[in-house]
Structure 1
């Protein structure tokens, strides 16, 4: 086994890099995209063309209508006699052709690989464009249960399209929310696939997710965290002053002067948090210098945010409750769809801790639930139902590999220890080990612990695929 794993990883490390972009769509306009998303433009041009399949909006009501769901298939390295099908699970943003570590696994195991875009994201929308498709009469069909059934139909469709034997072993791959879908699908439909790789999979839905901010504070150097706290206090002071001071603070990010205090605070908190989440905390800390001048603190934070995530980060619909209610022509699937999923089922409402908080104290559970009430008329996400249905952090299933990164603020919502011989977990502990880092294409600059994490994933897949061959 050791020789097999070493050979596989050495071969994968020599392969050309493919694009992998876990970033939310609203954060892809700046420097972070070039740091995190590898060769995005050229790889997308080289990838297979998108195809579409007709998918029902409601699997229990044929009269509800349907939509065109995008998917991509690559069989370049598939051994039809013995190779598996890897399915990359789409999530809360536009999907793209198979890429990153999943492609390397397909090459290693001589498998086909496909990507299925998640319903109500990217271009997989009901007819009528976002203003119609994301209205309440349609968006109600955006549920975890429907997304899991989409995976079933997607698997059947792709298996038939490529001419594979119906018994072909299928492996799901996903990171973050798609990582949760990987684990949840293995619980709900254990016979449909043989295994799953769940990177940074947030399988445990949490209503008041205070641990998120605490994890960011722990990941940052203490001196940097102190500057973030001082910067938050400067913005809070501007909001407390109101009027021109609050409007001027928002103008630094191109945010509307009327943007509410919780909305604005949520955007500011995300800017700092995502630096740790995506392994670029050094960029954040280099940009933020200690100062006794609140205006300096606010300006340097705005300069970092606009350069790192793009100038539309603070001005688009994603953080703006008023936009998500009243400006349907500005709705994007990522903003309104993801907010709906959080408000209806999964929550992860990121509140300010009582002490040591990096984010504004205005981010209370009441304020965040009020956003859900204002936008969708719902204020209590059904996290208990999700956790009961799929097991939360104690799932009743088998053959899932859960990977984590020590700097990832989503880690407390994941699986953080090996549960059994078939439910394995490994946390990569390193400075900068963030969200879904193992799903990127292998690089000579990867920390040794990330290489080891991938070795464990390869060994896991070798075990389950050999077991499947024996039982076939």
Structure 2
């Protein structure tokens, strides 16, 4: 059925799209799922999990393409997964986007979901995977109770959602025929990836797109910012330049500012697409280049000028609307998404991070004891499990699995903790030159390079083989 050679089907099916105007049509649905998929003693509790559907091109012979939501609102993620929409007509596929519990509207306890550890304890990868499996089984059996007549399912995901997509194929292979996992750092755990690689890769991005001078200014600037903020009497001009909402009263507050600035620089690297995007916030093409071009014309680096120029260089990110009166230094985004994500990072998604003299950030070693202490202080988590993900999902030992494509941009930070080599004849890795994360799952854009197009065509051919029963 799918053996026809359509190597350029993706190109031809999307050339006429109005790229900048597309807003995909999605129907919102809810399904009751168990609060705890693994409880047998307590009375079963349920909550409403949100999922989105597009059946524009679906017919009864087509597959179901499922997108595993990661951290954040599924409606935003769906609008940035244009590749699935672009190929839906070719495969006559039903598109389904499943929201991750505790994100978006899928809050098990409503407004009190984040009020206590008792409520938060149901936020885990195992529960989230079971949610997707539950919805997938429901969708398949809705079409037919006879297994042989049920639609084939292919799963897509990016970043953390890409990790879940890969793990879903590993844990529930009878439900999922294959997975496209884009920018999925499934090795980003203790013992699998060195703690220094992430920030070194970020530095490589700034070197390539901003130049060595930009990297040097960022490196030297940390001391200037820290010194200005550490003075007993912080001048109003310093706080005004950085537009910080809260007072700077302690060393911990200074550290918060530095972490806030560092997180912004990381986000710019993550979103360093070669065309304007609205994934994290509205950003121009090559935001790293834009930032560095705004910063580097000023040769003199001192307390009087650097903070002013640095703040102005970041303004296109921190104040893109022009209406932001001040910046919250606790989170990049002022919502519960980061709170939920930080909880997950304190329970089972432990990612070692350290910065050294080989990158452009403040030198900071990885200290597991401090990390565990901070998690306990913030969330009351007393059992931080650094080895859980490796034990649960197999770590680097992937040879027992099949039908997964791992794709990565060669200039994305997650490359250092992703699958970068073919594991078997059905566990593939594709590294896409001159691109950042999850670019292959985004919609077609005239600015896409040939490597992105080739990667998408590889995905199409591979999905065709999966649907035809080839391994």
TM-score, normalised relative to structure 1: 0.83
SS of alignment partner, residue 66 of structure 2 = strand
Deviation at 1:314, TM superposition (A): 4.1
Output one character per residue of 1:282-330: Cα deviation in whole Å (capped at 9) or x when no partner: 122212224322343223332333422544894165269xxxxxxxxx7
Residue 305 of structure 2 aligns with which residue? 296
- 1:216 and 2:202 matched: yes
| Aligned twin of 1:136 | 117
What corresponds to 2:17 in structure 1?
16
1:451 alignment partner, one of 453, 457, 463: 453
Q: Which moved more, 1:364-373 or 1:400-409?
A: 364-373
1:109 aligns with 91
CA contact (8 A) 2:263 2:332 kept: no
Three-state SS of the structure 1 residue aligned to 2:234 is helix
Q: Please, which runs of 5 or more residues in structure 1 have no aligned partner?
A: 19-37, 321-329
Query: What is aligned with 2:328?
Result: 315
**Deviation, structure 1 residue 342:** 0.6
Q: How many residues align?
A: 431
> How far, CA to CA, are the matches of 2:18 and 2:126 in structure 1?
34
1:343 paired to 2:350: no
Structure 2: state its 5+ residue gaps.
273-285
Q: Measure, in 2, the Cα distance between the counterparts of 1:341 and 1:205.
A: 14
SS at match of 2:31: strand
Is the CA contact 1:269–1:358 (under 8 Å) kept in the aligned structure 2?
no
Partner of 2:282: none
From 59, 62, 76, the counterpart of 2:37? 59
d(CA) in 1 for partners of 2:110, 2:343: 19
Q: Could you say what secondary structure the match of 1:156 adopts?
A: helix
Name the CA shift for 1:388/1:240 in 2 (closer, same or farther; >3 Å): same
Distance 1:101 1:237 in 2: 47
- Output the CA distance in 1 between the equivalents of 2:241 and 2:115: 28
Judge conservation of contact 2:113–2:120 (CA < 8 Å) in 1. no
8 Å Cα contact 1:246-1:257 kept in structure 2: no
SS in 1 for 2:374: helix
RMSD: 2.9
- Relative to structure 1, is the Cα distance of residues 292 and 164 closer, same or farther in structure 2, using a 3 angstrom cutoff? farther
Structure 2 vs 1, CA of residues 73 and 17 (structure 1 numbering), >3 Å: closer, same or farther?
A: farther
Residue 170 of structure 2 corresponds to which residue in structure 1? Answer: 187
Secondary structure, aligned partner of 1:159: helix
Change in Cα spacing, 1:297 to 1:362, as seen in structure 2 (3 Å) is farther
Alpha-carbon displacement from aligned partner over 1:65-86 (angstroms, at most 9, x marks no partner)? 32211101111111212x1100
Asked if 1:157 corresponds to 2:150, the answer is: no
Look at both structures and tell me which one has the larger radius of gyration over its CA atoms: 2
Structure 2 residue 54 is the aligned partner of structure 1 residue 71: no
Asked whether the equivalents of residues 176 and 202 of structure 1 are also in contact (C-alpha less than 8 Å), the reply is yes
1:260 partner SS: helix
Query: The residue matched to 2:53 in structure 1 has which SS?
Result: strand
